[in-house]
Every structure is written in structure tokens, then in C-alpha cells.
Chain A
Amino acid sequence: MMEVCGSSNVTLREFGCEQSLLSRPDGSASFIQGDTSVLAATYGPAEVKVSKEIYDRATLEVLIQPKVGLPSVRQRSQEQCVRETCEASLLLSLHPRSSLTLILQLIHDDGSILSCFLNAACMALIDAGLPMSCLFCGVTCAIDADGQIVTDPTAAQEKESRAVMTFAIDSTERRVIMSSTKGSFSVHELQQCIAVSQKASEKIFQFYRDSVKRRYSKTL
């Protein structure tokens, strides 16, 4: 079992977020982590096709659009991760026989893309005012060749790392809703990464709070 040294230089890149930037969708947000940026939009609750309707819940659909070309299998797997996270936190039973559509457009990929998708999705859902039982955020950790943990890695750092893990953390109890990992690592390293992600998520949730407070600062 490899020991991961508790390093003190684990940082999160610069964050940025803008809400309500598109006029047609019910909720929209852009989320920026360093150079990685994603634009998210939600429509809903809206009419659902009879073939897709569920009698007691809303039908959630997630679409990820890459920049060049048509969506491929990689986008489908990312859609699945985001969808499961959203379904765990949205109160879907409040809108039966309706559809919620979440569309994520990749603007620039410089590493930690799945966590950027998750953060943008959460902000778009907040902007649309959809009822949620908890907020969620995404944190990516990478274990590099020396065994150091790096949070929010850039694309270059991801390429050189031994393992890359993304966790979706919920806001109420800081538990892991979804995890997606790539590479090999030990059980101990996994637990350490989860602990680091939980710590990092506090910063992100504080950022959510600040954004929303700022947004309503003129009205409240």
C-alpha cells in the first residue's frame, strides 16, 4: 500500500461562474475552472413524449455536446454519470409526467472536465429553480507518478498521472454520490482522495453560496 504524503500544495484552480446568460432556457450557467469552461442549460419541467413519460416522476435527460463532431461513446458515459448524480439530488417526484432536459456544451477542455460538467449542471439547476434535496459538486483528483494527490488537474497533469478520479459530493453530509475513476490505485489512496475531495467541496459550496447571494443582493 502506497503512502500518500500529506502535501500542502493542493489547490483548486480559479473558479468563475455566470448564471442566466441565455434567454431561451429556463436555467443556464457557465462554469469555469482555470481554462476548462462549460456552458449548461436546463429546460423544464416541460411536456414529455408519451414514450418517455414516467407516471410518478419527472424524466431527466442529459445531453453533452462536444465542440467538434457528433457526440460519441465518451460523451454518453459522461452523460450517464451526470444523470445519476442529478437524479439522486433532484426531487423528481414533485413533477410527475414531465421532462427535465439538461444540456451541457463543452467550451474548452483543459482537464477535470467531468467535475466541471457537474458544477455547471448544479448551477444551471439552481438557476432554473428546480427543487433539489441537496446541492452537489464535482471534484477531480489525480495521483501523479510520485504518489502526490493533485486536485483539479489540468490536461497536462492528467496525462502524466497514474490515476484520475472524479467524485460528486453532496452538500448536506458531504457524502459521495457518484464516483468515476480511471487508472490503478490502492484502497488507501482512494480513501485519501475522497477525504481530499470532501475538503475541497467545502470551498465549492461556499462559492455556490456566494454566487447566489451576490445574484440576489439587489433584491434581498
Chain B
Amino acid sequence: MVCGNMAGLELLSDQGYRLDGRKASELRKVQARMGVFAQADGSAYLEQGNTKALAVVYGPHEIRGSRSWIRHDRAVINCQYSMATFSTAERKRRPHGDRKSTEMSLHLKQTFEAAVMTQLYPRSQIDIYVKILQSDGGNYSVCVNAATLAVIDAGIPMRDYVCACSVGFVDETPLADLCYAEESGGVSSLALALLPRGGQIALLQMDARLHQDHLDALIEAAMTACKGVGKVLDEVVRLHLKEVSVLTGE
């Protein structure tokens, strides 16, 4: 079990290198693939450094279960976030149903309700299921990115890509895309979900102490990082589109 107290390790060296050799504003390597499951309406697999997430989308379809959730003018988005029991260094005993997972699911739901054009599908339901296969920091951000790709794969119209990234603040410098070691080092971390074209923030979440004067710089850094992620996602989507259209022989 990784010890929580990492005060001894230098999160940012004097030359400006982090624990894994990145520079302060460098993102981890993002690799993604869309359409991994044939059965689901949309699916995507995304790796950001060592964090791996799998997202699956079903919908829009008729509301199953309780009729009380029906909205007459828009679709209802139902999200479920869970971590695989083998995703962390110590086996997770309760992968879903605990408070943290429920909170994450609520946040994901909130993020996508803002971005997906739900008015086009009244009285229906869209399910988004995300599973973390390996957790190395930035769980929320990787989930959001993977879910964006899955929703695009399902062909559900969205206002814009939803890109998310986490940033931390060490020694007056914002660090983009935190890994687990940096997150648990007691660093103030901010997770941001952004729609890059309009610069609109879909979700903003911050923990740990940060002086108010640094907030501006931190949000700026987060937005730049998200825009970077957005570019990568855009490339992935275009590539996938090319592959698919080649296969269908257009």
C-alpha cells in the first residue's frame, strides 16, 4: 500500500521535472480506441499514462424501470462509475455502492447532462457506464474523456467535446495531469471538465487548501490542459471515422 505521506519526495525538482520526468505543463500520453464492443451502442477505451478506463453507452432507449424518472421534454442520463477490484495497489473490497463512487456517478451525470443535447430525445434514457481498469491518478478526468468518446461513438449529438483534466499546485507552479503519487502527496488538486470551443466549464472540483490568488492561474492551466486533451480526442475521432468509412467502403 502506497504510504500516504510522500512529503519526502520532491514533486517538482529544481530543473522543473516531475516524478515521472514530465515538465510542469506536460500531459501524460493519451491513447484511445473507439468501438471496442460490438454489442453496445457506443464504447471507448482510453489510457492516460497508467490510468486506463473503459466506457460503454447504451441509448437513447425507452426508460426502463421506474416510470417516475420520465422527463417529457428531454432524455434522462444515467451514469454509473465503478472501479475494478484490481485497479488499485490494494484490492478494492467495495467497487461500487460506496459514497465516493456514488458521488463520482453524480458528477459524471451532471457533466454529460450539460453537454449532451438531451432535448432531441424526450421521454428516453441514455446509460453511460464507466469502469476504471487501472487507477493511477486523475480517475475522474479519464472517465470523462472515455465517456465522451463513447458517446460520440454511439452517435448521440453533443454540443462539444467534453475534455477533463486534473491540475495540482506545487511551489507556485501548476502541474497538469496528476498521477497518483502527486495526488496523494497532499497537493491541492483541481479537476475540471471543459467544453473547449466555448470555454465553458461543465464541472469544477477542488480539494485541499489553495490561496485565492492562485486560483486564476490554476484554472487557466487546467483549461489549457483540457484544450490539449481535446485536440487529442479530436484526432482519435477523425482517425476512427476514417477507418470505419474505409471498412464500409464508401
Direct contact of A and B (CB under 8 A): no
Measuring CB to CB, which residues of chain B are less than 8 angstroms from any residue of chain A? none
